[in-house]
Amino acid sequence: MKIAVPDLITNSYFPAIAAVELGFCQAEGLDLTLEHIFPVPDAMAALRDGQLDFVAGSAHATLTAFPAWQGAKLTAALAQGMYWLLVLRADLTTTRGDVNAVKGRRIGAAPGVDLGLRRLLAEAGIDLTRDNVWIGPVPGTGQPGVSFGVTAAKALEEGIIDGFWANAMGAETAVRRGIGTIILDVRRGDTPAAARDYTFAALVTTDQTIAHAPEAVAAAVRAIVNTQRALKDNPGRATDVGKRLFPPAEAGMIAEVISRDLPFYDPTISEEAVRRMNQFAQDMGLLSGPVPYEQVVATGFRQLWTA
């Protein structure tokens, strides 16, 4: 079976990556091959077309390939909350939490991921046209094996963009190089507070896979839960994964980045989280109206979240 992530050199989907690389899938009898498909809408399209069995990606992005939640479901959360950060050039005069700092700036963001930033800025009173804010792709991020966040940090250093909206690995890279400053991290209390619940990282599969291979789906969920617990017990195991898959610099920082994410490692998908995510999806034109929890979440596997 195959699982895809839209970014490989990242903390965002790390429980899924580590579940494969640290042997937790194999321990559950699941032979899972890891693939990198960017951007996340393309990964969801591959899932829809039967090229994949699972996607570890942004929960809301499922709707780009499965309108109205028809044909796919979330099986577990990889982590709680919207996990992207806003980083601006370090030489700009900015203050943490000051959304107005984006005015007149060029911000790099991946397709699908950009929706979170667009909604956040709108909720904060920023009008992209009036305030001359450009949000778009970062050159070079569509190449196989490329990390969006790390590549965005490089583009920031080269002056191609003024900032980026990406994962904590990209943010950490920019901060350590002295080229970027974190402006917003809504998962850790920056406002607007509502943005924290726009989306979250999730393990997604199709209704067809659930129907025809429920034991494999259950094995995948158990592997994710066990990986989250193992990383909580020993975040240093993330380095083992990093050494196999990441460039040396990123391999050296992944354990520290993951250690900061551990409070969000909870596989539970609550009804409130689904309601708020679906409201975000409606606000962004991905969904026309409310959808029942049972249509979004594979409830038959919920007991595994706490097993």
Alpha-carbon separation of residue 93 from 89, 102, 120, 127, 153 (angstroms): 9, 11, 21, 21, 18
45-58 mean pLDDT: 99
Which pLDDT tens digit goes with each residue over 209-257?
A: 999 999 999 999 999 999 999 999 999 999 999 999 999 999 999 999 9
Quote the tokens at residue 88.
């601006």
* Per-residue 3-state assignment (H helix, E strand, C coil) for the chain: CEEEECCCCCCCCHHHHHHHHCCHHHHCCCCCEEEECCCHHHHHHHHHCCCCCEEEEEHHHHHHCCHHHCCEEEEEEEECCCCCEEEEECCCCCCCCCHHHHCCCEEEECCCCHHHHHHHHHHCCCCCCCCCCEEECCCCCCCCCCCHHHHHHHHHHCCCCCEEEECHHHHHHHHHCCCEEEEECHHHCCCCHHHHHCCCEEEEEEHHHHHHCHHHHHHHHHHHHHHHHHHHHCCCHHHHHHHHHCCHHHHHHHHHHHHHHHHHCCCCCCHHHHHHHHHHHHHCCCCCCCCCHHHHECHHHHHHHCC
What does the mean pLDDT of the chain come to?
97
Residue recorded with tokens 């994962």: 167
- The pLDDT value given to residue 99: 97
- Per-residue confidence at 84, pLDDT binned at 50, 70, 90? very high
Who contacts 149 (Cβ-Cβ below 8 Å, separation ≥6)?
7, 9, 10, 164, 166, 167, 168, 169, 170, 171, 173
96-114 mean pLDDT: 97
- The pLDDT value given to residue 146: 80
- Per-residue confidence at 147, pLDDT binned at 50, 70, 90? confident
Q: In what order do the strands lie in the sheet with 201-206?
A: 33-36, 2-5, 54-58, 201-206, 72-79
- Per-residue confidence at 143, pLDDT binned at 50, 70, 90? confident
* For residue 68, pLDDT beyond 90: yes
- The pLDDT value given to residue 295: 99
* For residue 145, pLDDT beyond 80: no
- What span, in angstroms and rounded, lies between the C-alpha atoms of 5 and 13? 7
Question: In this structure, are residues 30 and 220 in contact, taking their beta carbons and an 8 Å threshold?
Answer: yes
Quote the tokens at residue 227.
């990986």
Rg of the chain over Cα atoms, rounded to whole angstroms, equals: 18
- The pLDDT value given to residue 150: 87
Q: Domains in the chain and their CATH numbers? A: 2-81+199-305 (3.40.190.10), 85-196 (3.40.190.10)
